[in-house]
Structure 1
Amino acid sequence: MSRIRLALKHRPVRPTRFTLVSLGLAVLLAIALHTVTHGGPAIAALLICLSLTVTRFPLRQSLPIGLLAVAGLLVAGMIGGGHSPDLTLLLAVCLVFLTTYAAKQRKATRAAEAREAVLAERARIAREIHDILAHSLSAQLVHLEGAKLLLRAERTDEALDRVTHARNLAKSGLEEARRAVSALRDDPPALPVALRTLAEEFESTTHRPCTLRVSGPAHRLAPQTELALLRTTQEALTNVRRHAPGSPAAVELAFDPAGCDLRITNPASAEPGAPGGGYGLVGMRERAELLGGTLSAGERDGGFLVHLKVPT
């Protein structure tokens, strides 16, 4: 019984046809009282009833009540013996109707924008978590696979070093995931510094070179732009480790006044890689589109190229 009462308590109250009819009758009654008394309370009651109607009902239902109020005032003016209706009162009725409807539309627009912002934030967090986990877990798998092979060869010291690297990657990935969820980005490093860190991680994990070349006058970009460039590089290098094992990589970042140009390339690998099918490229393209940029990825000159262009 208590659950039923709680459900009834929190159930939304929807306006009914009876309420609409009651408000229409109240409008007519207020007009009649105004015709008899010519007092301010009747006018106030008329405007309040009209405002409630517009607020609680859609336009297709509230508009007839507004027209009813206008028609009632015109008829009341004729019955009262006046040659012309009270234009001031008619103007007030129209103004209240339009103002209330405009306020209702603004509220609905703000609610829709709030919903869109929530959905966009969810998508952003999902991309963040995916990028972080894909980068961290892929590097851990490479180290653990190497540790397994080293243990079979009874090279325990090197295997322990690989396991230690995997542990450190798991720890840093967990910390970065927490920062992404809580949106703690107080003082991120400059983009070239962050890219250098990713290149060094790639070299440490794969024992293959990863060159970084930065051209143009380097400067700080908008946080979302820097984050997109950083995550794209991270995802691209992760894909190199997974799908082209044993291949080196190259990262080129070009600054110019109109935008930023990022290229991550790697030659083809003779070793078989892991199959694709993840959401990495989809996430990178979404980041680029949100910033008004473009991203392309595919085979180029016997290797693979990820190319991101974003405006500054």
Structure 2
Amino acid sequence: MREPSRIVPTALRLGTIVLLAGAQMTATPAPGLTGTSLAITLMTIALAGALATVLLLSIRRTERPVARRRAVNPPAALRRSRLHDLPLWKALRRPASPVWNPSREEPQAGDHAPAEGHRPVLVFGVPVALIALGLAVILSIALGSLSRGGAAIAVLLICVSLAVTRFPMRQALPIGVLAVVGLVVAGAIAGNPAQDLPLILSNCLIFLLSYAAKQRRATRAAQAREAVLAERARIAREIHDILAHSLSAQLVHLEGAKLLLRAERSAEALERVTHARDLAKSGLEEARRAVAALREDPPALPEALRTLAEDFESTTHHPCTLRVSGPERRLPPETELALVRTAQEALTNVRRHAPGSPATVELEFGPPWCELRVTNPASAEKGSPGGGYGLVGMRERAELLGGTLSAGEHDGGFLVHLKVPS
């Protein structure tokens, strides 16, 4: 069964042929079997045949290759199993398989070639559909010169538009030139070369508008592909960073625990194992958040920060104040992710290095910049020693976005300040 997206263009082209035949029956002079009427009859039949040839070749190119691709593609379960065998970040970074676009006569870079036996039919290296369009242009001009109906003119404009939208510019341009030259010659034969000037301008306008629409569709498709690949790369980098940071830190603690156990320092070894367990739990939670980003839209930035503040309060039983200023708006995904990850890392550092200390998270939306500040006063309790690479990674994220990150003592406490373009 044909897809609805293919039925509509097919019905429109069939309707063009039917309207051409119906309009010519009411034109003056009407088709007949003698003289000029016989010439109109023959031209109408030939023009309908040329349009039917274009229609049949377009159906052949758009439907049969799709069936062939479906036949050779592996089952969905097999495709999923192949991706499952790859490392997660490699599977995510794999570009989407380019598919041959049947709306172009010749495959371009990045396209799969059409299946053997379903390539465009060529005559002396020229597609038959292009030859049929050129013949239709000539016949529509001749038919429009003999009869006073507008059907032939409409067919001429449709043929020019089809040539631009369905063929590369080097093949469509001769059709446009043929239409203009044909109209000029027809006007010269009629003794009034300027009579078809409005129609010549209309052909040029249709040609340019069709080409602009084609370029706009191609640009949008390219932008959509780039957006998909960029999003895949971003998520892959996020998962890679989470796993690399979490697992490497766990290995360090577990290796230290092994050495401490050999030295019969079980208390210190237990502390190392506890740290490794905490890192595993933290890494698992972050991995779940990253995977959730694959399934649904991330929450708004203030909501994500509010969730972090609530987690801090429920874990430490100390207040975490969130202040948001400026007109709230959505930022690019990578910018929002950097802000959330920085706040998460800063609050984690407060729990580790300043236990018992409250925290304050301030988010400011400005016209050129968006700023995040996480502050906490000094703690009387002794925390775990520093030396991690969390803030270093956050600083690298900020620099990739064109922003800055600073962290250090401030007014007797500690301040983490992130500033990124908004």
CA distance in 1, matches of 2:212, 2:121: 20
Q: Residue 295 in 1 paired to residue 409 in 2? A: no
**Is 1:195–1:230's contact at 8 Å kept on the other side of the alignment?**
no
In the alignment, what sits opposite 2:174? 64
In the alignment, what sits opposite 2:126? 18
Correspondences of 1:1-312 after superposition (within 5 Å): 9=115, 13=119, 17-19=125-127, 20-82=130-192, 84-156=194-266, 159-160=269-270, 162-183=272-293, 184=296, 185-186=298-299, 190-191=304-305, 194=308, 222=330, 224=333, 225-232=335-342, 255-256=363-364, 258=366, 259-262=370-373, 282-286=396-400, 288-289=401-402, 294-295=403-404, 308-311=418-421
**Is 1:23–1:49's contact at 8 Å kept on the other side of the alignment?**
yes
Q: Residues 141 and 234 of structure 1: is their aligned pair in 2 closer, same or farther, counting only changes over 3 Å?
A: farther
CA distance in 1, matches of 2:299, 2:373: 24
Superimposed CA distance per residue, residues 126-173 of structure 1 (whole angstroms, 9 cap, x where no aligned partner): 331133224322442343244224322434465345435424532442
Pairwise CA distance, 1:193: 6.5
CA distance in 2, matches of 1:63, 1:254: 60
Q: Residues 153 and 197 of structure 1: is their aligned pair in 2 closer, same or farther, counting only changes over 3 Å?
A: farther
Pairwise CA distance, 1:42: 2.7
CA distance in 1, matches of 2:300, 2:417: 27
Superimposed CA distance per residue, residues 48-91 of structure 1 (whole angstroms, 9 cap, x where no aligned partner): 32122101233344233212211211211221234632345334
Superimposed CA distance per residue, residues 23-49 of structure 1 (whole angstroms, 9 cap, x where no aligned partner): 333312221222223444433332232
The residue type equivalent to 2:227 in the other structure is A
Secondary structure in 2 matching 1:9: coil
Structure 1: gaps of 5 or more residues? 204-211, 241-246, 265-270, 300-304
In the alignment, what sits opposite 1:206? none
The residue type equivalent to 2:126 in the other structure is F
The alignment's TM-score, normalised by the length of structure 2, stands at 0.50
CA distance in 1, matches of 2:156, 2:208: 15
**Is 1:53–1:62's contact at 8 Å kept on the other side of the alignment?**
yes
The count of corresponding residues between Structure 1 and Structure 2 is 283
The residue type equivalent to 1:89 in the other structure is L
CA distance in 1, matches of 2:173, 2:219: 20
**Is 1:34–1:43's contact at 8 Å kept on the other side of the alignment?**
yes
The sequence identity of aligned pairs, in percent, is: 55
**Is 1:135–1:234's contact at 8 Å kept on the other side of the alignment?**
no
Secondary structure in 1 matching 2:404: strand
**Is 1:31–1:42's contact at 8 Å kept on the other side of the alignment?**
yes
Relative contact order, higher structure (CA 8 A, sep 6+) = 1
**Is 1:232–1:284's contact at 8 Å kept on the other side of the alignment?**
no
Structure 2: gaps of 5 or more residues? 1-67, 73-112, 376-384, 409-414
The alignment's TM-score, normalised by the length of structure 1, stands at 0.65
Pairwise CA distance, 1:108: 0.8
Q: Residues 10 and 76 of structure 1: is their aligned pair in 2 closer, same or farther, counting only changes over 3 Å?
A: same
The residue type equivalent to 1:159 in the other structure is A
CA distance in 1, matches of 2:114, 2:322: 66
CA distance in 2, matches of 1:78, 1:279: 75
Q: Residues 103 and 215 of structure 1: is their aligned pair in 2 closer, same or farther, counting only changes over 3 Å?
A: closer
CA distance in 2, matches of 1:148, 1:99: 73
CA distance in 1, matches of 2:337, 2:118: 42
Q: Residues 284 and 99 of structure 1: is their aligned pair in 2 closer, same or farther, counting only changes over 3 Å?
A: same
What value does the CA root-mean-square deviation take over the aligned residues?
A: 5.0
In the alignment, what sits opposite 1:267? none
The residue type equivalent to 2:184 in the other structure is L
Superimposed CA distance per residue, residues 88-129 of structure 1 (whole angstroms, 9 cap, x where no aligned partner): 533432332222112101101111211221122123213311
Q: Residues 152 and 233 of structure 1: is their aligned pair in 2 closer, same or farther, counting only changes over 3 Å?
A: farther
The residue type equivalent to 2:115 in the other structure is K
